[in-house]
């Protein structure tokens, strides 16, 4: 897969590299208490630099297979803003999955919506996705609002699908799908192949 560079009004998105590892680790550690509540990867030990390096190995493999994880940096400052992407949905032909988490300095400012909107547009237009999947766990109302703002359609709830990383509490997973990217909010987005 050729280099990917996606630009939005405030962000530049591209696959992460080893040079990003320290910024990813620092940002992850700053919001670790939130990630342990809402993300399915945030088990004890995953906040370390070593865990970030293992994650990057996965991103490199996924990219070779046509499924880019995307790191977003602020266009003006170059600071790490968030991670999103268009990863593999192995059980669905033409299916991709997306998600996001945002660094502490950029929380609550619409960056997750902007970055994920760009990732979805890229997946449908450049990667020929047929559908995009996303989910959130119980009580994560902020993620639910982003998912709804992006125009996803509710698919199903898997009861007790995830043991919360923080304390093992069973959490319902609410699953959504998008098959038509025309529902996305308007966004000035461009990419280079």
Please report the DSSP string for 93-129 in residue order. Answer: TTEEE---EE-GGGTTTTHHHHHHHHHHHHHHHHS--
Summarised one tens digit per residue, pLDDT across range 66-109 is 999 999 999 999 999 999 999 988 788 889 999 999 999 999 99
pLDDT tens per residue, range 113-165: 999 999 999 999 999 999 999 999 999 999 999 999 999 999 999 999 999 99
Banded model confidence at residue 192, pLDDT cuts 50, 70, 90: confident
166-173, long-range: CB < 8 A, 24+ apart: 166/36, 166/37, 166/42, 171/137, 171/138, 172/137, 172/138, 173/135, 173/136, 173/137
* Domain residue limits, the chain: 5-130+188-192
pLDDT, tens digit, 9 for 90 and up, residues 10-61: 999 999 999 999 999 999 999 999 999 999 999 999 999 999 999 999 999 9
Q: Which CATH number fits the domain 5-130+188-192, given the four candidates 3.40.50.150, 3.40.630.30, 3.40.228.10, 3.50.50.60?
A: 3.40.630.30
């Amino acid at each position: 897969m050729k280099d990917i560079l996606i630009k939005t009004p405030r962000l530049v998105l591209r696959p992460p590299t080893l040079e990003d590892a320290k910024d990813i680790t620092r940002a992850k550690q700053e919001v670790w208490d939130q990630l342990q509540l809402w993300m399915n990867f945030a088990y004890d030990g995953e906040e370390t630099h070593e865990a970030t390096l293992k994650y990057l190995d996965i991103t490199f493999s996924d990219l070779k297979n046509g499924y880019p994880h995307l790191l977003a940096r602020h266009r003006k400052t170059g600071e790490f803003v968030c991670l999103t992407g268009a990863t593999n949905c192995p059980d669905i032909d033409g299916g991709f999955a997306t998600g996001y988490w945002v660094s502490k300095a950029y929380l609550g400012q619409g960056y997750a919506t902007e970055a994920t909107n760009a990732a979805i547009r890229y997946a449908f237009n450049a990667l020929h996705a047929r559908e995009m999947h996303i989910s959130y766990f119980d009580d994560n109302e902020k993620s639910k609002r982003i998912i709804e703002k992006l125009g996803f359609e509710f698919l199903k709830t898997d009861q007790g699908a995830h043991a919360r990383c923080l304390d093992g509490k069973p959490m319902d997973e609410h699953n959504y799908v998008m098959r038509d990217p025309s529902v996305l909010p308007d966004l000035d987005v461009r990419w280079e192949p």
